Amino acid sequence: MTTGTTGGSTVQTFTIQHDGVTIPVSRGGRGRPLVLCPGLSSTQADLREPVELLRRDHDVVTFDLRGHGLASAAGRYSFQAFLSDLTAVLTELERRGLPEPPLLVGYSLGADLAVHYAGEHPGAVAGLVLIDGANPVPEPFLTEDVLPAFRALWEEAATRQRAARQVLLTGQEILDLNLEIDAVRAKILDRYAAIDRPIAMIMSTAMAGDEERFNRNWRAGVERLVREHPRVTTTWLDADHRLIVTHADDIARIIRHLSASWRLDRC
C-alpha cells in the first residue's frame, strides 16, 4: 500500500488480486464511506474531478475495472466478470474494517453493477446513487440498423484508447459488452425489487447528444422504473452521457444532499 496527497486529501492506493486480474484501488477523504464504480471505457483518472469534490466530506474509494486504467488485462470481459471486480473491492473494504456500509455510486455500466450487487447483498450498502445507467429502457439500443455505425465508432475509440493504454478492450469486445448490457437492462426491474435501501438516479436529458430517438428511449426507461418503483428518486441534468465530468459540481452537490438526507432518515 502507498500513500500520497491529491487535492489536499491523503490518498491510499493498494491492489486486489482476484480472478487472475489486478485491480488498483484508491481511497481518500474523510466522512461517510462512499464507493464509486466507473463504467465501461471510463477509469479512475477520468473521474478525478468528481472524486476530489466528494472527498471533501466522504471517505471515497475508487478503482479500475479489469482492462481499464491501471488494472491488468483479463482473459474475459463480461457483465459478470465486471460485477466480480466490484464484489472483490467491497469484500476487501469490509475486511479492512469500514466503519459502516458505504454509499455505492455507479456511473453508466457501474450503475448496473451497483444494482446487481445491492440486490445480491442485502444490507451491504447504505444506499445507491445511479448516474446515467441501470435504466430499464423499453427498447434495446443496439438494433440491427445501428450496429454497423456503432461497430465503427467503438473500433476507432478502442484503437485510440489502447494506444494510450487507457482501456485495453478491443472494439469488438466493447460492442459485445454493450449488447450484453442491453440484455441485462431488459431484466433489471426485478433487481430493483430486491433492494431495501434508498435509491436515487442522476440522469442526463440528452444521453445520446442530438440522437433524439435514443434520448426518448432513455427517458422512457426512467419513467418506466419510477412507475414500477415509486421510491426511486430522479434528478435530471441538462447534459449528455459525459455528465459525470461536465457536471461534476452538480453531481457532487446532489450526492452530498442525498447522503445527508438518508442519514437523517435513519436517525
Q: Return the pLDDT at 162.
A: 86
What average pLDDT does this structure show over 171-191? 96
Ordered alpha helix ranges (H), the chain: 48-54, 79-95, 109-120, 147-163, 171-185, 188-193, 212-228, 243-246, 248-266
Q: Return the pLDDT at 106.
A: 98
Q: Return the pLDDT at 8.
A: 61
Note the CATH number of domain 2-266: 3.40.50.1820
Does the pLDDT at position 143 exceed 80?
yes
**Residue 164 pLDDT class (50, 70, 90 cuts):** confident
Q: What value does the mean pLDDT of the chain take? A: 94
Q: Which residue has the higher pLDDT, 103 or 165?
A: 103
Give percent above pLDDT 90 in the chain: 88
Q: Collapsing DSSP states into helix, strand and coil, what is residue 64?
A: coil
**Residue 263 pLDDT class (50, 70, 90 cuts):** confident
C-alpha cell at 228: 414500477
**Residue 165 pLDDT class (50, 70, 90 cuts):** confident
Does the pLDDT at position 5 exceed 70?
no
Q: Return the pLDDT at 132.
A: 98
The CB-based long-range contact list for 192-197 (8 Å cut-off, 24+ gap) reads: 192/115, 192/119, 192/225, 192/228, 192/229, 192/232, 193/229, 194/119, 194/120, 194/122, 195/115, 195/118, 195/119, 195/128, 196/122, 196/123, 197/118, 197/125, 197/126, 197/127, 197/128
Q: Return the pLDDT at 267.
A: 54
List the domain boundaries for the chain: 2-266
Does the pLDDT at position 220 exceed 90?
yes
Which of 15-29, 45-59, 145-159 is predicted least confidently? 145-159
Does the pLDDT at position 58 exceed 80?
yes
Give the whole-angstrom CA distance, residue 62 versus residue 242.
18
Give the pTM.
Answer: 0.95
Burial class (CB in 10 A: 0-12, 13-18, 19+), 75: exposed
What average pLDDT does this structure show over 9-31? 95
